[in-house]
Amino acid sequence: MTSKPQPAIARIWRGRTRPEVADEYEAYNRAEGVPPLEKTALGVQLLREDRDDETWFTTISYWPDMESMTAFTKGDPLTVHHLSRDKELLIELPERIQIHRIVVNR
């Protein structure tokens, strides 16, 4: 019996919207951004933080190693791959991705 690989890497993207388009962006990201990650990554989370003047979204995907993440991104995993409507819905286009090595996973 083969066990599922454990995540060793977390890839984190953050972006922010105006409150009046936050629901639209959430639905859009759920439909367009999350499904490709669900097919390839070990797991994915979409987080939302509503503030008075802006709404932050964070997408965290989990990977067994850098090679699998690099294969998914088809190149440098630090490169931001924007969704087609990001320029329209986000306050600014994020310029970076964070990659964290998971040191405790219980």
Report yes or no on 106 lying in a domain: no
What is the tally of structural domains in the chain? 1
Report yes or no on 65 lying in a domain: yes
What is the structure's pLDDT at 1?
A: 57
CATH code, domain with 68? 3.30.70
Closest CA to 41 of 27, 60, 14: 60
Report yes or no on 2 lying in a domain: no
Question: What residues of the chain score a pLDDT lower than 70?
Answer: 1-2
**What is the domain range of residue 69?**
9-97
pTM of the full structure: 0.92
Report yes or no on 104 lying in a domain: no
| Phi-psi region at 75: left, alpha or beta (left = phi > 0; alpha = psi -120 to 50) | left
Report yes or no on 21 lying in a domain: yes
Report yes or no on 4 lying in a domain: no
What is the structure's pLDDT at 5?
A: 86
Q: Report the C-alpha gap between 11 and 35 in whole angstroms.
A: 15
Q: How many CA atoms lie within 13 A of 59 on its CB side?
A: 24
What confidence tens digit (pLDDT) does each residue in 34-54 have? 999 999 999 999 999 999 999
Tokens for 35?
A: 């499904």
